């Protein structure tokens, strides 16, 4: 029983990060139809920028988080302006291949800029446990992840329910051409979607730097977030959050119960992907997605 508690809490924390990064992926997908496969590299870029601002310049931690997220917003707009806008009207596959090329480009740039070593991020919170539950402890880092995720999800839901821009974005995700004819500036909204995508990617990465350190292998976090977004379907943020928590918890359970029977590696590296393939086979539109009828 203890083992279950031990794995559920970190699992929830990891799942929150996946869901958080998944927001960006879903927004880009819904507004422009593009799958942003550079998400993994964007997450690491965020961590490195945070490292450079926080540890390199020695600024206040919270200020450096805010600055990195600001850089993320700019970076997203830059990607949309520079790489996605010239491809309007081209097949989606071209845009997806461009995001793959962007991933490669960033990989190269990151390895030139920061090298391949593990970097220790500046500490956000004290190392001691926040509270313990049934023998399992929750560290401040994990607690902070949950709190941040709750805040961001709350903000996102309010944004899409109440604000003019959020509602316009919903309209664009429903039908691009119709919303354009209603006077919504689609290209600007796509730009904003990319900005949000990059900034939540940055934020998600920064939040787990204290747990995992900063390293190129963090690219997996972003890619798992893509898997989570697929599992949740593309219709609601609640579905995304549930899918994220589900994947996080199953992953931790796998580490606790399956890993002893596996050779050297850990099942955690592939759990999300196996789940994604399984979900795509059984419910092709994700757990909470709707099937859309398509016409020739």
Which residues form the interface with another protein (CB under 8 A)? Answer: 35, 37, 83, 86-87, 90, 92-94, 96-98, 100-105, 107-109, 111-112, 115-116, 220, 223, 226-227, 230, 262-265, 269-270, 273-274, 276-277, 280-281, 284, 294-296
Q: Nearer to another protein by C-beta: 115 or 126?
A: 115
Find the shortest distance in angstroms from Cβ 137 to another protein.
29
* φ and ψ at residue 136, rounded to 5 degrees: -90, 145
Find the shortest distance in angstroms from Cβ 116 to another protein.
7
Q: Nearer to another protein by C-beta: 124 or 240?
A: 240
Q: Nearer to another protein by C-beta: 58 or 89?
A: 89
Find the shortest distance in angstroms from Cβ 84 to another protein.
11
Find the shortest distance in angstroms from Cβ 38 to another protein.
10
Find the shortest distance in angstroms from Cβ 5 to another protein.
27
DSSP string, the chain: -HHHHHHHHHHHHHHHHHHHHHHHHHHHHHHH----TTHHHHHHHHHHHHHIIIIIS---HHHHHHHHHHHHHHHHHHHIIIIIGGGTTS-HHHHHHHHHHHHHHHHHHHHHHH-SS-BPPPPSS-SSEEEEETTEEEEHHHHHHHHHHHHHHHHHHHHHHH-HHHHHHHHHHH-HHHHHHTT--HHHHHHHHHHHHHHHHHHHHHHHHHHH-B-GGGHHHHHHHHHHHHHH-SS-HHHHHHHHHHHHHHHHHHHHHTGGGSSSS-GGGTHHHHHHHHHHHH-TT-SS--------
Find the shortest distance in angstroms from Cβ 35 to another protein.
5
Sequence-separated contacts (24+) of 161-169 with Cβ below 8 Å: 165/189, 165/192, 169/27, 169/30, 169/31, 169/193
Find the shortest distance in angstroms from Cβ 199 to another protein.
23
Find the shortest distance in angstroms from Cβ 15 to another protein.
18
Asked if residues 56 and 214 have their Cβ atoms less than 8 Å apart, the reply is no
Q: Nearer to another protein by C-beta: 177 or 281?
A: 281
Report how far residue 37's alpha carbon sits from residue 26's, in angstroms, rounded to the nearest whole number. 12
Q: Nearer to another protein by C-beta: 41 or 141?
A: 41
Q: Nearer to another protein by C-beta: 8 or 255?
A: 255
Q: Nearer to another protein by C-beta: 60 or 111?
A: 111
Report how far residue 286's alpha carbon sits from residue 291's, in angstroms, rounded to the nearest whole number. 9
Q: Nearer to another protein by C-beta: 70 or 284?
A: 284
């Amino acid at each position: 029983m203890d083992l279950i508690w031990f794995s559920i809490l970190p699992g929830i924390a990891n799942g929150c990060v996946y869901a958080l990064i998944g927001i960006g992926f879903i927004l880009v997908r819904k507004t422009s139809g593009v799958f942003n496969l550079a998400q993994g590299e964007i997450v690491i870029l965020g961590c490195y920028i945070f490292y450079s601002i926080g540890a390199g310049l020695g600024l206040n931690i919270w200020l450096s988080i805010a600055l990195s997220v600001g850089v993320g917003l700019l970076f997203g707009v830059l990607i949309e302006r520079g790489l996605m806008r010239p491809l309007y009207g081209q097949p989606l596959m071209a845009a997806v291949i461009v995001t793959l090329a962007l991933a490669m480009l960033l990989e190269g740039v990151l390895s030139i800029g920061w090298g391949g070593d593990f970097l220790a991020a500046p500490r956000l919170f004290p190392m001691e446990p926040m509270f313990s539950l049934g023998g399992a402890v929750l560290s401040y880092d994990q607690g902070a992840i949950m709190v941040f995720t709750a805040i961001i999800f709350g903000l996102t839901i309010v944004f899409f329910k109440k604000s003019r821009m959020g509602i316009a974005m919903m309209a664009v995700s429903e039908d691009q051409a119709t919303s354009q004819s209603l006077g919504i500036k689609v290209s600007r909204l796509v730009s904003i979607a990319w900005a949000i995508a990059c900034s939540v990617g940055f934020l998600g990465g920064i939040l787990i730097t204290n747990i995992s350190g900063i390293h190129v292998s963090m690219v997996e976090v972003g890619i798992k977030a893509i898997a989570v977004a697929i599992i949740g379907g593309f219709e609601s943020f609640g579905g995304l959050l549930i899918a994220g928590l589900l994947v996080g918890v199953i992953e931790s359970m796998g580490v606790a119960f399956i890993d002893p029977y596996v050779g050297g590696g850990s099942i955690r590296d592939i759990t999300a992907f196996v789940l994604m393939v399984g979900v795509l086979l059984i419910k092709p539109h994700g757990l909470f997605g709707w099937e859309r009828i398509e016409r020739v």
